[in-house]
Amino acid sequence: MKQIQCRIAGLLMALVAAGMLAACDGQEPEAQKEKILPPETGQDEAVKIGFSMDTLKEERWLKDRDLFRQAAEKLDAEVEIAAANGDDALQIAQAEAMIQGGIDVLVIVPHNAEATAAIVHKAHEAGIKVIAYDRLVKNADVDLYVSFDNEQVGELQARAILDAVPKGNYAYIGGAPTDNNVHLIKKGVLNVLQPAIDRGDIQIVYDEWTDDWAPENAQHNMAEALRANGNQIDAVIAANDATAGGAIKALAAQGMNGEIPVAGQDAELAAAQRIVAGTQTMTVYKPIQNLTAQVAELAVQLAKGEEVMTSVSVNNGKTEVPSILLAPTAVNAENLENTVIADGFHSKEEVYQELKK
């Protein structure tokens, strides 16, 4: 089969060289050649996917890694996975090695939305398409962006906390500013809170990003928020469960944990345990199994040169990136069982084990 394709390709090239096609539309032979033959994967060869990850530090990324490998292998694709531990230079080097190693398509979770633009450029030079996974790469010709609707994540968080605290002082514990998601999440939070702010019902008395999404940085920031406001904080919105966990530690140091509503994201096990224990109000559940299944399928399609249709696009500062945004779900003590537990994201035993101690 491969041989036939080469022969057909060779034939086509010869045709192009002979200017046959040029005669049809009057273009220079050179241009013609390029357009006709993208380096698609041979039908009989397994598609090789490169999965370049920022980190495995948060619980969810371990799930992303394992579920993505399973989903891709179910499609008979090979997967090469590398995690850069939050190191931009390492992520670029790892992706370059994958490109030189012969991947057919690159799936990337950028640590730094800007710095990874260089990787997209390199991949395209090698004729390899790029899917931005969960986080957008900025200012580059990304072929596809697949994530959860991050603005909706922020809206779900703010709605839950505003229901619990319609008036008072809020602390906002944002995520890592290098991550494009944090700006979308915060926009969603303000979509919901702004009217209450304008009415003077609530004040955001503290608002800081958390470098590298580190729980210890979030704990430090929350302690600073409490100190600067004489502990007069009535609600906390944290960009994910890891930072919510840090903030709750700072609240506990002041004997305030369980008294102040706190929002998080990711439905981490520790967060689910805090929700049933009453020290965290809610989290946002993003069924990773849906994301990995979709991206694995799309990656194989792109590697085979098939066209992918999307219903929305997201502007990344350079282009309107064709996008697929999946729906997140707000989770609290009431619906934890028929969402996170029902899906097998965590088992009931795991979630309630802390309460049994």
Which residues would be at the binding site for ligand GAL (CB under 6 A)? Answer: 58, 60, 134-135, 175, 179, 181, 213, 240, 265-266
CA–CA distance, 171 with 206 (Å, rounded to integer): 5
For 22-40, letters b (16+ CB in 10 Å) and e give beeeeeeeeebbeeeeeeb
Question: Smallest distance, Å, CB 302 to ligand GAL?
Answer: 22
In this structure, the chain runs to a length of: 357
What's the min distance (Å) between Cβ of 324 and ligand GAL?
15
**Chain center to CA of 321:** 15
Min separation Cβ 177 and ligand GAL, Å:
12
Q: Shortest gap between Cβ of 340 and ligand GAL (angstroms)?
A: 14
Which CB, 47 or 158, lies closer to ligand GAL? 158
CB of 55 to ligand GAL, least distance (A): 7
The candidate with the shortest Cα–Cα distance to 182, out of 206, 153, 160, is 153
CB nearer to ligand GAL: pick between 65 and 135: 135
Residue 8 neighbours by CB distance under 10 Å: 11
Closer by beta carbon to ligand GAL, 116 or else 181: 181
Of 68 and 213, CB closest to ligand GAL: 213
Of the pair 254, 339, the CB lying nearest ligand GAL is at 339
Half-sphere exposure of 152 (CA within 13 A, CB side): 12
Query: Which residue's CB atom is positioned nearest to ligand GAL?
Result: 181
Q: Hunting for tokens 């709750």 — which residue is that?
A: 248
Min dist CB 320 to ligand GAL, Å, is 21
Which DSSP letter does residue 327 get? P
Specify whether the CB–CB gap between 218 and 174 falls below 8 A.
no
Least CB distance to ligand GAL at residue 148 (A): 7
Can you list the positions of beta strands (E) in 121-248? 129-133, 144-148, 168-173, 202-208, 235-238
Sign of CA dihedral 226, 334, 330, 344: positive
Please list, in sequence order, all residues whose beta carbon lies within 8 angstroms of the beta carbon of residue 353, skipping any fewer than 6 positions away: 273
What are the tokens at 307? 């066209």
Burial class (CB in 10 A: 0-12, 13-18, 19+), 3: exposed
